[in-house]
Each structure stands twice: as C-alpha cells, then as structure tokens.
Structure 1
C-alpha cells in the first residue's frame, strides 16, 4: 500500500493534484479541507495517502495529515459509503465538524452533504458513533486562510470564467448535480474571487 508521498506539486485541479516523485507523476484525489492546505505549484508537498484498487481502476486518495486519513478509512468501512462519497463528506465539512455531527447525532447537518439522504445519515450515526469515539479527543483541524499566492498556484492570473468553471467542476466531482453546483457558485461569487476560495464558500453555503 502507498501510505505517504513526498514530491513536487506539479498540478492543482480541485479535487485532484499531480505530484512528481523522482520523475513519476502520481494523480491524487483530495478532500477540499486538505486541498486548501497545499503549497503553491512547484513546491515540495507531503501527502498521506490511501490506495484503492478496483476492477476498473487504481486510485490514490490524499490527506493533509494522518488524522483525516484515519477518518476517511473509517468512513469507507460504513455500509454504502465508497471513496467518492467519503471524499465529498470530508470536503463539505472538516473532520472535527463531521465527528461532532456524528457524536451529537445531528442528522440534519449530514443530510446537507451531497449524496447523503436522511436514511444514509441515520445509518452513519448508528454505525460510526462508537467507532469514531477514538477520535473524540482530537483537536479541530485548522484550515488556514488561503493566501492569494496559494490560490493562484504561485504565478497564475485567474480568469473569471475559468475560476467559476473550475469551481463548478470541482463541486460536480464531489457529488453535486450540475444545476446545484452552478447555483451554489453563483450564490457566493463576487468579482475577483479565485477558484479555491469560491469552492470553499460554495461548500459553506451548501451546509
């Protein structure tokens, strides 16, 4: 299993990145909570990974720290939760917010996430409440405010249309329907917003 990757961040296309390790490029899917913490393109990055092998694909999922990866691993053990839905859950709320929702049996908060209906939310609470108790003493994962350099990938001038399209594409990849993704982006967009801050605000608006 590939548990950690350290290399040069080559591309950032939320929710995916490309990391170069000794000439080999690894495509990694990340929840947005981890994506926001990435350095600029061209800098070194360390990503904790979970490797998924399917009949039709081999996929790498990456996280900013072991804690978030551990929560992801518990999530995908739950009935009806695959890696894609696990990624969407950890993009829609931080690990600490998800833990609080499960421990407090806050079904309404979970239902606000893409792909989570009421029955699924109730099942997650039942299945995960005891299993996630070991994470109970965790400190909230701090998501630092993104700098303009980080958001622009280091040296990229952001185009308004491309920023909106990128944000919509990211939301769709996380499980939102196209019309819903477009509506969320339009509801939070203001002049000059870059794609990652636009995604962040759209996800907040969905809760």
Structure 2
C-alpha cells in the first residue's frame, strides 16, 4: 500500500498531477479541494495517498489532509460508491461540509453532486451517519463555513489548452456532462475581466455554483 508520497510536482492538469519521487513519476488524481492547495509546478509537496487496483487499471488518489483521505476510504466502502464518485463528492464539498450534510440528512445538498441521485443520497445518509461520528472531522456537527478557496493559488501550466478548456476537462473527469461543464465554466469566466482567470479559479467557481 502506498500511503504517503513526497516529491516535486512536474505537471498539473486538474484533477491530476505528475509527482516526481526520486526519479519515479507518479500520476495522482486529487479531489479539487486538495488540488487547490497544491504549490506551484516545480515545488515539493506531500500527499496522503490511497492506491486502487482494478482489473483494468491501477489508480492512485492523493489528499492534502489525512482527514480527507479517511473520508474517501469511508465513502468507497458505501454501497454504489466507487473511487471516482468519492473523488467527485470531495471535489464539490470539503470533508467537514460532507460530514455535516450527512449528519443533518441534507439530501438536497448531496444530490447536487454528479452521480448522486436521491436514492444514492438517502443510502449514503443511512450507511454513513453512524460511521462518520467517529471520523476526525472538525465542525462535523456544526454548519461548516469552510471556503473552497485555495490556501495557495498557483497557475496551472499547460500550453496545449486554454484555462477554460482545462476547467471543462477537469469537470468532465469528475463526472459532469460536457454541456453542464461548459455552461458552468462560461458563467464563472464571465465574472473575470479579460478572461484572465486561471483554470483552478474557473473550476473552483464552477463547482461552487453547482453545490
């Protein structure tokens, strides 16, 4: 099991990064709430990781906070929730926001996540409510005011795609349909002058508008 990696960020293409660890490049997918907190390309970072082995793929997921990885591991044990859906949920909500939504049975907030219908949301509440009581999540029983804004805002470097296209691609990778992704990103971009927003800013704003 690969539980933690420390290395240099070689590429950032949300929601994925390429991390150089002593000459070995690891492709890692992060929830956007963790991605926002990454330093710039070329800097070092440390990630808690979860390794998933399937018949057709080996996938590595990364998290800035141990708490977020703990919640990810609880989510993937729930009926009907795979790693991709768990990552999508944690991209739209912080760990404490999700725990709060489950604890107060806020089905309306949960169904706004792509791939989470009403039945899935209700099942998550039933299956996870007791399990999340023991999760080390601050403000689990109080309304979280945590912002999805990054603690560090770093440019996403990719000469092959515009910030808008990168943002759209990231949302699609998280499970959103292209029309919905395009509309949300376009609306987010309209708030910036001269279309100078980074892809991370567009993704953050688009996700906030859909939650």
TM-score (norm. length: structure 1): 0.92
CA separation of 1:142 and 1:22: change in aligned 2, threshold 3 A: farther
How far does residue 186 in structure 1 lie from its aligned partner after superposition?
Answer: 1.1
Residue of structure 2 aligned with 1:198, choices 202, 206, 209: 202
Instruction: Provide the rounded CA distance (Å) in 1 between the counterparts of 2:86 and 2:158.
Output: 32
Q: Secondary structure at the match of 1:45?
A: strand
Give 1:136 shift: 6.2
SS at match of 1:134: coil
- Alpha-carbon distance in structure 2 between the residues aligned to 1:138 and 1:176: 29
Higher mean C-alpha deviation, range 167-176 or range 189-198: 189-198
CA distance in 1, matches of 2:198, 2:40: 14
What is the deviation of 1:142?
A: 6.8
Residues 120 and 186 (structure 1), Cα distance of their counterparts in 2 relative to 1, 3 Å cut? same
- Give the Cα separation in 2 of the matches to 1:58 and 1:164: 29
| 1:128 counterpart = 2:128 | yes
Partner residue in 1 for 2:24: 24
Give 1:158 shift.
8.2
Q: Give the SS at the match of 2:115.
A: coil
1:178 and 2:200 matched: no
Q: CA offset at residue 35 of structure 1?
A: 0.2
The answer to whether the 8 Å contact 1:102/1:129 transfers is yes
Structure 1 residue ranges (4+ consecutive) displaced by more than 6 angstroms after TM superposition: none
**Tell me, what secondary structure is at the counterpart of 1:127?**
helix
Aligned counterparts of 2:137 and 2:47: Cα–Cα separation in 1? 23
Aligned equivalent of 2:60: 60
Distance 1:147 1:61 in 2: 20
- In the TM superposition, residue 145 of structure 1 has moved relative to its aligned partner by 3.8
Deviation at residue 104 of structure 1 after TM alignment: 0.4
Superposed, 1:1-207 pairs within 5 Å as 1-135=1-135, 138-139=138-139, 145=150, 147=152, 150=154, 152-153=155-156, 162-189=162-189, 190=192, 191-207=195-211
Instruction: Pick closer, same or farther for the CA change 1:37–1:145 going to 2, 3 Å.
Output: closer
Q: Tell me the number of residue pairs that the alignment of Structure 1 and Structure 2 aligns.
A: 202
TM norm structure 2? 0.90
Indicate conservation of the 8 Å contact 1:29/1:60, yes or no: yes
The answer for unaligned runs of 5 or more in structure 2 is none
